[in-house]
Structure 1
Amino acid sequence: MNGYKTDNHDRKLDAEQYNAPLAELESGSTKRTWSQTLSVLISGVALFSDGYNIQITGYTNTVMAKLYPKALTTTMKARLSNSILIGDIFGMLLFGLCADRLGRRWGIVGCTFFLVLGVTLATAAHGTTPTGMLWMIVVARGVAGLGAGGEYAVCTTSAVEAANETAGLRRRRGFMVASATNVAIISGFVGSAIVFLIVLAAFHGKPHEAVWRICFGIGIVLPLSIFFFRMQMIDSTLYQKHGIAKKPFPYKLAFKRYWKPLFGCSFAWFLYDTVIYPFNLLAPTLAAGFDSNATLLQSNGWGALINSFALPGCIFGSLLIDRLGPRQTYAFGTIMVAIFGFTIGGAMEPLNTGGTGTFAAFVVLFGLFQSFLSVGPGNCNFIVSSESFPTPIRGHFLGLAAAIGKAGAAVGTQVFPLIQARYPTTIKGHQAMFFVGSGICVLCAIVVMTLIPNRRAQLEDEDVEFRQYLEANGWDTSDMGSTKVPIPINQDGEEK
């Protein structure tokens, strides 16, 4: 018979139900409305601004290097690149906690505030000396990073839970979440390149202070433009049923049960960001290495073209997730990156010295290298790091995994230039970078396949098991959730 079972009744769980393959998602209506689909996309699309504000630094640094050659030392350039990453780390941790304790909706307010404040301060930065002005930009971008990093936890938890609301959305959960997260971020990367090239071209390809100020200022537009729509959203059904707002929070039990997937998701994200960020930031430099006479506009244009390969990659990868599974798509992407990376590293010298034709080959190979970084880890980090944990701790653990990943970005942007500098020629240094990056990708694939669990057909399956685990260990679950929604059962008396 059909009916409902309360939280206090004994639960009979069928283990096979929770490990159903993607093709065996629960039966029922698969209808989804445009409003539901739009809700998923709006939940995560603000990550576009994170991608834009991080990547724009790589382009504006080339202008600042011409304007302030003495002030913009190698150390200061690294500070400009890493300040927003460091802010990201603190934002991910802070707003990951807030998303679970205060609700997904309230995290949006804090993220938008810090992001807009930081970008505004960076755009208006001044100082009595160029060095003082650059320090103000460093601090301001750190503030912006606090908001941008918080978006990772808030946007992803909101998007993945919104994509679990109906059977129709669940069948396309991987595609929907990837579209709202990594596709949005990569679109921000590409958008930053387009904006920078347009602004630079408006100044006839010449370095000018207005170039970087305009590029920074545009980063304010998107988070403000969708803020009203995001504030109209309510917390997901899963959070209303299973969220934990009371104190104390069961941290010890949560880490005891989920330490392995947490370590796997965090380490994999760390390895990915160690590779992706330095190669994104160095793309204009790598392209310029093939033509020492390239203008500022040309070198940045080639770098933008190379980075733009990531966008079709993440779109293609989003179509694979619901067919192969997130973990399998992740590993496939990293192995393909390693193959292209080893190929580029081995052929770097003939690619560099063979003229225009081989330069085009380098652009294509490097573009595919960037593309498969998005096909696999770029798309799947968000999904595996949210689907691996139950709703009450999803923001905490997703934020922690993302923060550790961003630490990898900071490490990569520091270490890869040092690797390049250890070699006597630019070609040898670039070869070493690709070899090291490819080796890291192989290690990442091993971590994913050994430490990250397969996806669940329904997110609530893990919520139910976590609730039972807490009860078995003496933790009171009676006031979990802001609303008491009865749990449906099937004809055999088992929870759906």
Structure 2
Amino acid sequence: MSSDTAEKKTWTWRAFFMVLVQGFALFSDGYNVQIIGYMQSVMAVLYPKVLTASIKTRLSNSILIGEVVGMILFGLCIDRFGRKIGVIATTCFLVFGIVLATASHGTSLTGMFWMMIVSRGIAGVGAGGEYAVCTAQALESADGSTATQKKRGLLVAISTNFSIILGFVASSIVSIIVIAAYHGKANEGIWRICFGIGIILPLGIFLFRISMIDSRQYERHAIQHKLPYKLALKMYWRPLLGCCSAWFLYDFVVYPFNLLAPTLVKGFSKKQTLLQSVGWSALINSFALPGALFGGWLMDIIGRRQTYALGWAIVSILGFIIGGAMVQLQHVFPLFVVLYGLFQTFLSVGPGDCNFLVSSESFPTPLRGHFLGFAAAVGKAGAAIGTTVLSSALSSYDDPVKGRQVIFLIGSAISVVGTLIVWFLIPNHPKELEDQDTRFRAYLEENGYDVSQIGLPQSKPQREV
């Protein structure tokens, strides 16, 4: 084997390893975000008078608000100071917040819940920062060799959307195991154990992550001083608008439907136990996993925009079918589960996968964190708003069947709008990230920007991520 061939294989395996590590990081974020949905069912039994509707909303939204702050803050940070700084800071925020949430207490139950709300907000800052850090690192690593470039869509999908959904599913599995250990009866130990487990993974992979350095792509194209914001916005306003709008609409739909899954399923039978409710919602959320893999494969075959629009379109059709037939489905629970699961599957195939990839590929390396973080933050704003709106819509009807029907119809209508936004605002992806950076550099030079500022002063000769 020639030395060139051996080196290429080494870079390829390093790229795969780096992508895998980013996936583990976002897996932990998915777990920590979703676990509150299941623990609220436990807390509703333990603290029925204190866990009011407003407290429930604050518990759900606190980590989302923290994520918005983290996405914007660390999106700026990783472009200016490097990807590695982001890894260290986001992990510290995440672990600190989870530790505080696990240890939540107060002189009253209300005080305990407020400590939990604030703590999950701190954890959200770290989790939100991971979106920008992990996606940028995974994308730039996947672009590191010819072999990985051809599978860039699938690799990034695995390390982002698939890993986050796997974290969602893991949170339900852990909840089932811990609840079963307490013989299906609500206990304070359940939510403390489930929260605490979220600390293990970010700490477990921390040493691997800080041992890695910034990508070649970042070293060659970083701009750490005098960032050309006006020129960048003039060149990229259209894809930025498309990415922000599509991500907002996706999170507006997917987060409420994930968080409301136990409620929607429980509505079919008043006799369901706590364990059964969590189990059915876990099954529904797991439908998104094959969707994430299929979407990643499809993006590399037919293109990002095409996969994006296809997923949205099928979601809208399924939502209209479920909403329109809700009365009939009330008497055929297994069919409802299958249709609801397919609804989740195609949310994952289209916007779930494409949000991360398109929002990072569409922009040049020196500003990738900025635009990716901003688009993701707009998405999380959509999650907070969508959770409030759809939860209110569901509870505003005395007839639960009518409430479920309405939220599926709303989700479908939003999906139609998402399809149109994607088709008209999302650009075709570059074959290589270098193409995007070369184009941006030429544009800056044409407009009088001093391109000598592009790139780090010294290229690091150590191993690259």
| Fold match by TM threshold 0.5 | yes
Question: In the alignment, what sits opposite 2:374?
Answer: 400
Q: Which of 103, 107, 111 is 1:128 aligned to?
A: 107
How far 1:41 moved relative to its partner? Answer: 2.1
* Matched-pair contact (CA < 8 Å) for 1:86–1:407: yes
1:228 counterpart (207, 226, 250): 207
How many Å separate the matches in 1 of 2:295 and 2:441?
33
Structure 1 unpaired stretches of 5+:
1-28, 486-496
Following the alignment from structure 1 to structure 2, what is the Cα–Cα distance between the partners of residues 43 and 426? 40
Please state whether the residue corresponding to 1:270 is helix, strand or coil.
Answer: helix
Task: Give the match for residue 88 of structure 1.
Answer: 67
- 1:283 equivalent in alignment to 2:245: no
* Counterpart among 373, 379, 384 of residue 410 in structure 1: 384
1:434 and 1:312 map into 2 onto residues whose CA distance is 22
Aligned AA (2:342): L
Unaligned ranges ≥5, structure 2: 1-7, 460-465
| Structure 1 residue aligned with 2:463 | none
- Determine the C-alpha separation between the residues in 2 that align with 1:422 and 1:448: 32
1:119-142 deviation per Cα after TM superposition (whole angstroms, max 9, x unaligned): 000000101111100000000000
RMSD: 1.2
Q: Is the 8 A contact 2:75 2:371 kept in 1?
A: yes
SS of the residue aligned with 2:270?
A: coil
Residue 216 of structure 1: which of 195, 198, 211 is its match?
195
Q: Residue 43 of structure 1 contacts residue 156 of structure 1 at CA under 8 Å; is this kept in 2?
A: yes
Which of these residues, 226, 235, 251, is aligned with residue 229 of structure 2? 251
Letter in 2 for 1:251: Y
The answer as to whether partners of 1:31 and 1:167 remain within 8 angstroms in 2 is no
Q: Is 2:11–2:144's contact at 8 Å kept on the other side of the alignment?
A: no
Counterpart CA distance in 2 for 1:241 and 1:32 is 17
Residue aligning to 2:300: 322
In the alignment, structure 1 residue 189 sits paired with structure 2 residue 163: no
What are the within-5 Å matches in structure 2 for residues 435-450 of structure 1? 435-450=409-424
Matched residue SS, 2:15: helix
**Match of 2:456, as an amino acid?**
S
CA drift at 1:30? 8.8
Q: In 2, distance between residues paired with 1:329 and 1:31?
A: 31
2:270 corresponding residue in structure 1: 292
Question: What is the CA-CA distance between 1:287 and the residue it aligns to?
Answer: 0.5
The residue identity in structure 2 corresponding to 1:277 is Y
Q: Matched residue of 1:181: which SS?
A: helix
Shift of 1:483: 4.8
**More deviation, 338-347/206-215:** 338-347
Matching residue within 168, 172, 178 for 2:151: 172
Post-superposition offset of 1:265? 0.1
2: CA distance between counterparts of 1:57 and 1:402? 21
- Which residue of the partner structure matches residue 314 of structure 2? 336
Matched residues in 2 for 1:43 and 1:428: separation?
Answer: 41
User: SS of the residue aligned with 2:298?
Assistant: helix
Give the % identical residues: 60
Q: Is the 8 A contact 2:322 2:408 kept in 1?
A: yes
Deviation per CA, 1:348-404: give whole Å up to 9, x if none. Answer: 11111x2xxx10000001011011111111111000000000000000000000000
Cα offset, 1:460, TM superposition: 0.9
- Aligned twin of 1:309: 287
The counterpart of 1:385, out of the listed 359, 365, 371, is 359
- For 2:344, the aligned partner's letter is Q
TM-score after normalising by structure 2: 0.95
Q: Which structure's CA Rg is the greater one?
A: 1
Change (3 A) 1:264 1:233: same
Which digits, 9 at most, give the CA deviation of each residue in 1:190-222, with x for residues without a partner? 000000000000001100000000000001111
Cα distance between partner residues in 2 of 1:167 and 1:31: 13
CA gap 1:206/1:421 in 2 versus in 1, 3 angstroms: same
- C-alpha displacement at 1:277, in angstroms? 0.3
Q: How many residues align?
A: 452
Contact 1:189–1:307 (CA under 8 A) maintained in structure 2:
yes
What does the per-residue CA deviation read over 1:258-316, in whole Å, with 9 as the maximum and x for residues that have no partner?
11100100000000000000000000110000001111111111111111111111112
Distance 1:241 1:32, change over 3 A: closer
